[in-house]
Amino acid sequence: MQFQFQILATDQNARRAQLHLRRGTVNTPAFMPVGTAGSVKGVHPENLRETGAEIILANTYHLALRPGDKHIASLGGLHKLARWTKPVLTDSGGFQIMSLGKNVRVSEDGATFNSHINGDTLQLSPERAAEAQINIGAEIAMVLDQCIALPASEQKTRDAAERSARWARRAKKFWDDDPRVSHSEGYGLFAIVQGGMSYELRKQCAAELVAGDFSGYALGGLAVGETQHEMLEVVGAVAPLLPRDKPRYLMGVGMPDDIIKAVIRGIDMFDCVIPTRAGRTGLAFTGCGTLNLRNACHAADERPLEEDCPCPCCRADPAGGFSRAWLHHLVRGREILAAALLTVHNITYYQRLMRALRGAVERQSLAQFARDFAAGAESPARGSEASLPEPR
Amino acid sequence: MQFQFQILATDQNARRAQLHLRRGTVNTPAFMPVGTAGSVKGVHPENLRETGAEIILANTYHLALRPGDKHIASLGGLHKLARWTKPVLTDSGGFQIMSLGKNVRVSEDGATFNSHINGDTLQLSPERAAEAQINIGAEIAMVLDQCIALPASEQKTRDAAERSARWARRAKKFWDDDPRVSHSEGYGLFAIVQGGMSYELRKQCAAELVAGDFSGYALGGLAVGETQHEMLEVVGAVAPLLPRDKPRYLMGVGMPDDIIKAVIRGIDMFDCVIPTRAGRTGLAFTGCGTLNLRNACHAADERPLEEDCPCPCCRADPAGGFSRAWLHHLVRGREILAAALLTVHNITYYQRLMRALRGAVERQSLAQFARDFAAGAESPARGSEASLPEPR
């Protein structure tokens, strides 16, 4: 049964809301750390919870290949296996239709992948992708869509968008018929609006999907090579076409600045590999910019990444509070502790940003927050969360 | 000023004692996890403390190269940088004289290394190695020795042992003259007995070093290719030649079974990369043997590594208690969380073993413990720590 979605405050087009899911409430605007194979790389679930993350994203293609969605179901589901007690959203495998390129064949029935691991064949139809996500135990499943790289021809973009809309209906029918999600409260299936850079195609796709009455709506096929300006144009044009009373999710986005500007345009949910991948390559997000800890300028810097950050890398008590100098040393030595510390810091940074955004919407001061952030005056830490109650 | 060494109990040749060092007490028999570059790979110092580890080992050669011992001193020392509040022992670089082979030239003055990182030249004389360790801030420094691979000719073994003894005297003179360690309580300099497989050479080397009145005595040049039987023969023959009132340290050893048999022969301290390196390659130590988590037999095993283990991998509350099935998945996916979890588990296993050994010595039941361990009946968890008070 579909989850409850409750809008607590608005500021122009921006919304501050809650998704009441099977395994917990997600406060929006929300950022979902990416755990492709069911585990956010290098982060213990206990530390992940401490970052403030209330939902993570896992990937159907990857988990269906290894360890297998039926295997996951037989062991009690992903939450139990990965010891993550809060909600999970699974992407459907549609992104891999694009990213795995020549290893994928697409027909009206679905997609056939040659495994990137061992060449085994994996078939994902709209129905099979939905089934896999239910097997995994995700609170929010995504319809299988056909994601394409940009730029693309009008015809190719139209074909993919129309097929995605047909696949979405098939996924919905399958999902509605599975008692594991349709007879329990707090689950949902999101449709994905495709259509590339074309307003007309996006509008047609959105209209078809809205008629299908999904639990939420995602914007797909963005953050795939277009400029930020182009991306925001699509977001600004499409968000108003989506139901006001359903969550809106911008897939694969992005940098903090992208997120702020998309929240202003009415987006509620985000996921992106940037904070985690950056952490593994020695990059740290801070209120004073993005630091590359490999750089020699950090070699003797005794400051933590951020003075007031509560993460296991920055906090001074009882054993944290690593200096930039030491992080520089760990990064240069390719110590995996560096990857782990920077990853958990970056996720914390993103979660504090989302918290600050929620507070700004509640106080109807989002425009000011965005200006301050752009001017470097507003760090996530300074934008404090509002006084609105947060039901558990 | 030399630290206090207090023997609390004995069982035949085995001892249960305490080293009262500058930054804390080390209960022996003790196992020192290896943090070559100042950080135990993949383990947050807070988690390391939770394993029960009371001292770690770092490496002078590696730290002198990067980030540099003077750099470490200028930033307040290794403890502050690495956020490790308990004692540190540094190996001197003598092991690297052997392990780096062709990149090292040795003369009576000392060793000249070509950096394994960038080819830079690093010179370590006995004096310079001692100075570097004082700069790093180690509570226990090791004299520079000339470690050689086995088997080796009698002449080569004799030359290395005699040179090591001469170098030890030079190191001692330098160390005694540095007020940072000689005017503060709780520091120490250990000599290293060399001499290969020759009892005569070991005996001569030990006699020379004992005359030098060091804070403790190590057996070096073992665990370098000889059998366990050969190693234990040397340990059993040399340990009685060392002062009863000083700690004895068997360098680079070893597997749990090696440690138990060396404790029986009077050894107090150990270090080894086995538990950490094994963790990074998917191996887990348990009371029921060593598990290779890559093996498919673990794919559906819902048990934790060890039921009663308190480590962040095994403990069930609030978010730990990973199943072997999930660890198998993480190892197969080369997730760095697997390395981190297995490493901290393995260190915990070793610390619980040491705790059990201390208890067995206190109860004078070490022989029985060793028999039970060999028969598989004694897991570290079951050998409980004694009721003797442990001063802080």
User: What confidence tens digit (pLDDT) does each residue in B169-181 have?
Assistant: 999 999 999 999 9
Residue B360 domain-assigned?
A: yes
Q: How many CB pairs under 8 A join A and B?
A: 122
Residue B57 domain-assigned?
A: yes
Contacts of B73 (CB under 8 A, 6+ apart): B135, B136, B137
Whether the model clears a pTM of 0.90, i.e. scores above it, the answer is yes
Give Cα separations from B76 to A60, B56, B80 (angstroms).
48, 18, 6
Statement to judge: residues B132 and B49 lie in one domain: yes
Mean pLDDT, chain B, rounded, equals 94
Name the residue facing B319 among A85, A312, A325 (closest C-beta).
A85
| For residues B348-376, average pLDDT | 97
Active-site residue set of A: 91, 271
Statement to judge: residues B202 and B309 lie in one domain: no
Statement to judge: residues A248 and A282 lie in one domain: no
Contacts of B170 (CB under 8 A, 6+ apart): B125, B126, B127
Query: Given an 8 Å threshold on Cβ–Cβ distance, is B300 in contact with A71?
Result: yes
Statement to judge: residues B220 and B82 lie in one domain: yes
pLDDT at B203 over 70: yes
Residue B391 domain-assigned?
A: no
**Chain centroid, CA A33 distance in Å:** 6
| For residues A72-98, average pLDDT | 96
Query: Given an 8 Å threshold on Cβ–Cβ distance, is B41 in contact with A340?
Result: no
pLDDT score, position B387: 34
Statement to judge: residues A36 and A183 lie in one domain: yes
Contacts of A38 in chain B (CB under 8 A): 329
Contacts of A51 (CB under 8 A, 6+ apart): A33, A311, A344, A347, A348, A351
Statement to judge: residues A159 and A264 lie in one domain: yes
Query: Given an 8 Å threshold on Cβ–Cβ distance, is A336 in contact with B336?
Result: yes
Number of domains in chain A: 2
Statement to judge: residues A60 and A21 lie in one domain: yes
- Contact between A330 and A281 (Cβ < 8 Å): no
| For residues B114-119, average pLDDT | 90
Query: Given an 8 Å threshold on Cβ–Cβ distance, is B329 in contact with A85?
Result: no
- Give A259-314 pLDDT, tens digit per residue: 999 999 999 999 999 999 999 999 999 998 999 999 999 999 999 999 999 999 99
pLDDT at B280 over 90: yes
Statement to judge: residues B313 and B204 lie in one domain: no
| For residues B83-88, average pLDDT | 96
Q: How many CB atoms lie within 10 A of CB A391?
A: 10
Counting residues of chain B whose pLDDT is more than 70, the rounded percentage is 95
Name the residue facing B75 among A319, A325, A336 (closest C-beta).
A325
Confidence of residue B101 (pLDDT cuts 50, 70, 90): confident
In the block, residue with structure tokens 């007309």: A200
Closest chain A CA to residue B44? A337
Confidence of residue B345 (pLDDT cuts 50, 70, 90): very high
- Give B234-244 pLDDT, tens digit per residue: 999 999 999 99
Instruction: Give the H/E segment covering residue A278.
Output: helix A274-280
Counting residues of chain B whose pLDDT is more than 90, the rounded percentage is 88
Residue B390 domain-assigned?
A: no
pLDDT at B259 over 80: yes
Confidence of residue B379 (pLDDT cuts 50, 70, 90): low
Residue A2 class from Cβ within 10 Å (0-12 exposed, 13-18 middle, 19+ buried)? middle
Statement to judge: residues B117 and B161 lie in one domain: yes
Query: Between residues B321 and A34, which one has the greater pLDDT?
Result: A34
Query: Given an 8 Å threshold on Cβ–Cβ distance, is A42 in contact with B333?
Result: no
Residue B392 domain-assigned?
A: no
Give Cα separations from A233 to A197, A238, A262, B205, B256 (angstroms).
9, 9, 10, 79, 63
Residue B299 domain-assigned?
A: yes
Angle, CA A263 vertex, CA A261 and CA A269 arms, to 5° = 125
| Domain enclosing residue B281, as ranges | 277-385
- Give A180-213 pLDDT, tens digit per residue: 999 899 999 999 999 999 999 999 999 999 999 9
pLDDT at B161 over 90: yes
| For residues A312-338, average pLDDT | 91
Statement to judge: residues B141 and B101 lie in one domain: yes
pLDDT at B318 over 60: yes
pLDDT score, position A151: 87
Nearest chain A Cα distance for residue B387, angstroms = 28
Query: Given an 8 Å threshold on Cβ–Cβ distance, is A335 in contact with B85?
Result: no
Confidence of residue A388 (pLDDT cuts 50, 70, 90): very low
pLDDT at A1 over 90: no
| For residues A337-353, average pLDDT | 98
* Helices within chain B (DSSP H only): 45-50, 60-65, 69-74, 78-82, 94-99, 126-136, 154-177, 179-182, 199-211, 228-238, 256-264, 274-280, 324-332, 336-362, 366-375
pLDDT at A365 over 60: yes
Statement to judge: residues A268 and A328 lie in one domain: no
Nearest chain A Cα distance for residue B155, angstroms = 38
Query: Given an 8 Å threshold on Cβ–Cβ distance, is B326 in contact with A82?
Result: yes
Nearest chain A Cα distance for residue B364, angstroms = 37
Q: Which domain CATH number covers A242? A: 3.20.20.105
Contacts of A301 (CB under 8 A, 6+ apart): A323, A324, A325, A328
Q: Which of A242, A272, A302 is the last residue of a domain?
A: A272
pLDDT score, position A167: 98
Contacts of B327 in chain A (CB under 8 A): none
Residue B235 domain-assigned?
A: yes
Contacts of A323 in chain B (CB under 8 A): 75, 81
Contacts of A105 (CB under 8 A, 6+ apart): A111, A112
Strand-strand pairing, B111-114 and B104-106: antiparallel
C-alpha closest to that of B153 among B120, B201, B113: B201
Crossing angle of helices A228-238 and A256-264, in 10° steps, is 30
Closest chain A CA to residue B70? A300
Closest chain A CA to residue B328? A67
Nearest chain B Cα distance for residue A294, angstroms = 13
Residue B83 domain-assigned?
A: yes
pLDDT at A392 over 90: no
pLDDT at A2 over 90: no
Mean pLDDT, chain A, rounded, equals 94
- Contact between B23 and B86 (Cβ < 8 Å): yes
pLDDT score, position B382: 40
* CA dist., res. A362 & res. A365, Å (int): 8
C-alpha closest to that of B357 among B46, B87, B52: B52
Which among B91, B145, B258, B268 is annotated as catalytic?
Answer: B91
- Contact between A231 and A222 (Cβ < 8 Å): yes
| For residues A346-357, average pLDDT | 98
Q: Which of A223, A257, A272 is the last residue of a domain?
A: A272
* CA dist., res. A170 & res. A164, Å (int): 10
Counting residues of chain A whose pLDDT is more than 70, the rounded percentage is 95
Confidence of residue B386 (pLDDT cuts 50, 70, 90): very low
- Contact between B156 and B148 (Cβ < 8 Å): yes
Statement to judge: residues B251 and B281 lie in one domain: no
Q: Which of B213, B248, B272 is the last residue of a domain?
A: B272
pLDDT score, position B378: 55
pLDDT score, position B392: 31
Tokens of A319: 């054993």
